[in-house]
Structure 1
Amino acid sequence: MSGWLVIGLMWAVTYAARFVGLSLGRLELPPFWLAFLRFVPVSVFAALIVPDVLGSSEWARRLIGAAVGGALLWRTRNLALGILGGFAAYWAARLLGA
């Protein structure tokens, strides 16, 4: 298969997926699907973060940082404070040898 054919097929699939998503934007979803889709961002975030935190040799430090950052974010609803607090907790645990 030539490179241009592969690029053309990738373009067609991408365009079709975006077209379907945009054309369904005016569609009213049933309550079941609205409740189901409400948890998609949390699931994606967990799928990205959990392997990185727990799959490392220094998982305890990363878990401390993630827990502190998550608690700060949950309590204050301030993303910058949650990120900075998580970094600070991670580096404090690293410096203290935890």
Structure 2
Amino acid sequence: MLVPVCCDRLPVRLEVAVISAKGLPVMNKSITSTDAFVEVRFADEVQKTEVVTSLSPHWNSDFFPFDTDEKQLSECWVQFSEMASHLTVVERRKYCEQ
């Protein structure tokens, strides 16, 4: 992405969709599923899917909007955390540093 050289930071909206996860581990041995959700982070903002009780949940969510600017968009990554029963179960795949 090309970023303007001048001081202006043009506004940008980043939209992220969460579709599904596969093969989440059972977090409680007494039940055969888990309460799964995904946290999506960009810069200082965190958004979360609804909780789905499944080891292979499907969200097919609407887009999560993140309002930012061109400079921050070129410097930060989106961070995903798949969660189950309030514990991270899959490593974060991308990291956003300030």
Per the shorter chain, which TM-score range? under 0.3
Q: TM-score of the superposition, structure 2-length normalised?
A: 0.22
Structure possessing the higher radius of gyration over alpha carbons: 1
Bigger relative CO (Cα 8 Å, ≥ 6 apart)? 2
Structure with more of its chain in strand, by fraction:
2
